[in-house]
Amino acid sequence: MEYIRLTEKNRSWFAPLLGDAQNNLWTAANHYALGAVDQGRACGLLIFHWTGELADIVYLTVADACRRRGVATGLVQDLCRHAYAVTVPVTADFAATDKSDPLYLFFADMDNFTVGEDEGGVFRLSCGELRESRRMKEFLPLGSGIVPFFSLPEWDQKRFCHTLAAQNIPYAREWEDHRPLMVEDLCLCWAEEEVEAAVFVERTAGRDLSPAFVRNDGRRQIRLFGLFAEMEKRIAESGEEGDFVIAATTEKVRKLVEKLYPSARPEEMFFRAVWDMTVQEDN
């Protein structure tokens, strides 16, 4: 098995493992990919976000015909070898049903990795359920002042990003990384003199949609209801057939999700895997 860096020259080898969302992720700023090749056949792919201080695994997959051959383990170990050479920690934030989930067991069984529970979880409902939702329709009149964020003048967009960055909000620091994944027509905001509330929707793996970042000035939560109602209306009109996936990373967000979407299914918990370089060094 050979592990190589993904480049424009060899990207076609890994086309079966790269959907549109993964391709956008790999080409985003500070994202890189490692591929596993055996006898000229692409077997697996790992995409990670590299800041120079941290290597965070964001995507890991293995071709069906190559499963149970240690391909995923080899990819993670190869990343760790490169990270060790420059003293950079390796992490992976992921969602799993519980501690018996194969993804949890994969990292838990990896040498020198520690896995712990994180806050929140993942809620899912189909876009079809959104189209049939009656609860949010009552908030549609609140959307009269809502516009697509990317229809704002460029200066207003930059001012909003700078405001988030000044408040040390991670989404602002990684704005360029998220930009290729955003669905522009579904990135909405409530803006008078400045952006006071906003929701940014991204396309995740496959056909799924996810509100990746939600912002509110805290004074009028009802504006968020209007934003989500307008977003649902646009999803319904577009005929999206995937799922609507909400990652509730805090208790406050979880309560908001349960209030907005009482039929949403809580299906996964969050976990964080961390590679222990000190153990590697001792070995």
Say which amino acid occupies 8: E
Burial of 233 (C-beta count, 10 Å sphere; 0-12/13-18/19+): middle
pLDDT at 218: 58
* Residues 6+ positions from 51 with CB-CB distance below 8 Å: 30
CA-CA distance, 246 to 120, in Å (whole number)?
10
pLDDT at 132: 67
The two three-digit tokens of residue 248, written as one number: 């509730």
pLDDT at 103: 92
pLDDT at 279: 56
Q: Are 2 and 34 in contact (CB under 8 A)?
A: no
Say which amino acid occupies 236: A
Q: Are 242 and 128 in contact (CB under 8 A)?
A: no
CA-CA distance, 202 to 187, in Å (whole number)?
8
Give the HSE-up count for residue 270: Cα atoms under 13 Å, Cβ half-sphere: 16
Q: Which domains does the chain have, with CATH numbers?
A: 2-119+271-282 (3.40.630.30), 123-268 (3.40.630.30)
Burial of 134 (C-beta count, 10 Å sphere; 0-12/13-18/19+): exposed
Three-state secondary structure of 134-166:
CCHHHHHHHHHHEEEHHHCCHHHHHHHHHHHHH
pLDDT at 133: 64
CA-CA distance, 247 to 223, in Å (whole number)?
20
Q: How far is CA 57 from the centre of its chain?
A: 11
pLDDT at 201: 94
Predicted structure pTM score: 0.64
pLDDT at 138: 66
CA-CA distance, 250 to 257, in Å (whole number)?
11
pLDDT at 33: 93
Residues in the chain predicted with pLDDT less than 70, given as ranges, are: 20-21, 131-144, 205-206, 218-220, 278-283
pLDDT-above-70 percentage for the chain: 90
